[in-house]
Structure 1
């Protein structure tokens, strides 16, 4: 029996995508070769990456001046690559401290430029997104972590600013429609909503790339390098790109990003309703900033928490334990999570009778 996997990443994918990916790992399109052994420059793989790019463009309705890049290295690499490409040696960027991944972004950017931390939610243990702050006049862009997976908070409305947004969307990429013109760079690694670990999708608004900069960007980290080479400057991990393609096809077949958003709202609403109703549990994030993808909650005592974790394990629910700095539980409900799994978890919460 397949388990209900609420892991924050690598995350569950639809069973049909796993099956298609498994088949291609053995024999890709009846070629007698595995997708993992086909050259990244072979016509068969070029078709794969071009279709994946085309689907990202279609789903987000990207204008022509946006480029879609497929890069190894994970989203954490982009925390440094984005400021490297957008900022001169004396430029600055701004960020709101919303939690773990915002802090990672601050540390990475500070190695390259001045960073204005506009506000922090640390005083309330990152249970909300700070919204009362002033933007410095010299900031070239505002970095946002669209969804903080560890603390379970999410931007449901992005800040209205007159500079580009650079967004780490690793955990909510392809989960809702976007007004992409507000963004300079969007990046997301693929182990949550649209594939398996090993590839990062980067959307580059070429209008924000500096024409002349006093910063010498190494060739390997220069967005222009990968734009000019159509993401084939070096060996792209072919299998993760192929699995991303399968997920993109699946997302389109389900109805696109609006339907992904509808499903996310429906799944998270079902779970949050039970969290708020059940006296054994309580939510961690303030309601208006709750993530629809990572529901973080806790039990009324450590004893109840350990008993519920064991109860979940006995009933085929895995990956629900919260991050060590937050504790409690975290139920991640990305695009590939079926409503039936959320219904199963909610029913377990209803049936659970701890020994108090």
Structure 2
């Protein structure tokens, strides 16, 4: 029986995508080979890479000044690769500490160059996104974690600043339309909203990239290397890109990002309403900054935490245990998770409250 999958990533994949990916893994379109067996320079693979890039641009409406490339190493690698490419020795990268991934970004960028931490919500256990901060005059760009997967906060609106925004969108990529003019670079690893683990999508404003005073970095980490070789400088993670392409097709066929945003808002409202109304549970994040992707909450009777986890597990709900350093519960509701699964979780919360 299929589970109700609230895992934070790797996460839910549309059933139709899994079916098509399974066929492609066995044999791809009469080639006599699995897609995973094809050369990364085979015409079939190159066509999939190009289609996946085109679909990202189509779904968001990116113009010709933006380039889409596919890289390895996940978001963690991009925390270092981005400042390698974008930060010169005369400027700083501005960051706001909103949680686990912002903390990692601060450390990674600090190993490359100067970092200005503008504000932090660490003292309140990252229960909100700081609003009162000033961008320093020497900031080259503002690095934001669009959605904190572990702590459960999300930028509902992106700030107006005088420099480009570099955004780690790993857990809310392809979930809503964006004010594109604000961004110089966006990156997201695939295992949340658009595929399986193994590839990372990077969207770059080429005009901004070319205007940077470049520091000396290894060729393999240079964004321009991957732009010029159409993401095929080395052996690309071909099967993860293929699955990403299938999910991108599915996203477009569902109606695009506006439809994804509407569905995600409905799912989040259903769960947060229950969290707020059920006396046995309480939210971990202030209402204005709650993530639509990762709802973090706690039980008001801590001795029942494991009991509730066992109860939901017995009813085929998986993946809601909070991150070890945070505790509590976390329900991840990415694009492919159906509303029906959220309703099942809400019903279980109500039943559990009646019993306890």
TM-score range, shorter chain: over 0.9
Q: Is 1:52 the equivalent of 2:52?
A: yes
User: Unaligned 5+ residue runs, structure 1?
Assistant: none
Indicate conservation of the 8 Å contact 1:187/1:201, yes or no. yes
Measured after TM superposition, the shift of residue 307 of structure 1 is: 1.1
Q: What residue in structure 1 maps to residue 154 of structure 2?
A: 154
User: Could you say what secondary structure the match of 2:29 adopts?
Assistant: helix
Alignment deviations for residues 94-131 of structure 1 (CA, whole Å, 9 cap, x no partner)? 00000000000000000111100000001111000001
Measured after TM superposition, the shift of residue 20 of structure 1 is: 1.0
Q: Distance in 2 between matches of 1:212 and 1:60?
A: 25
Q: Distance in 1 between matches of 2:291 and 2:214?
A: 39
**Residues 25 and 154 from structure 1, CA distance in 2 versus in 1: closer, same or farther, beyond 3 angstroms?**
same
Q: How many residue pairs get matched?
A: 356
User: Could you say what secondary structure the match of 2:96 adopts?
Assistant: strand
Alignment deviations for residues 198-242 of structure 1 (CA, whole Å, 9 cap, x no partner)? 000000001211446351021101111011101110100111000
Q: What residue in structure 2 maps to residue 136 of structure 1?
A: 136
Alignment deviations for residues 30-72 of structure 1 (CA, whole Å, 9 cap, x no partner)? 2221111111100011111111111111001111010000111
Superposed CA RMSD in Å reads: 1.1
Q: Distance in 2 between matches of 1:355 and 1:275?
A: 16
Indicate conservation of the 8 Å contact 1:3/1:318, yes or no. yes
Alignment deviations for residues 13-44 of structure 1 (CA, whole Å, 9 cap, x no partner)? 11111111111111111222111111110001
Q: Distance in 2 between matches of 1:36 and 1:201?
A: 19
Q: What residue in structure 2 maps to residue 327 of structure 1?
A: 327
TM-score of the two chains, using structure 2 as the length reference: 0.98
Q: Distance in 1 between matches of 2:90 and 2:328?
A: 43
Q: Distance in 1 between matches of 2:100 and 2:327?
A: 14
User: Could you say what secondary structure the match of 1:265 adopts?
Assistant: helix
User: Unaligned 5+ residue runs, structure 2?
Assistant: none
Q: What residue in structure 1 maps to residue 182 of structure 2?
A: 182
Measured after TM superposition, the shift of residue 89 of structure 1 is: 2.3
User: Could you say what secondary structure the match of 1:7 adopts?
Assistant: coil
Deviation >2 Å, runs of 4+: 210-214, 353-356
Indicate conservation of the 8 Å contact 2:278/2:353, yes or no. no
Q: Is 1:193 the equivalent of 2:193?
A: yes
Indicate conservation of the 8 Å contact 1:6/1:12, yes or no. yes
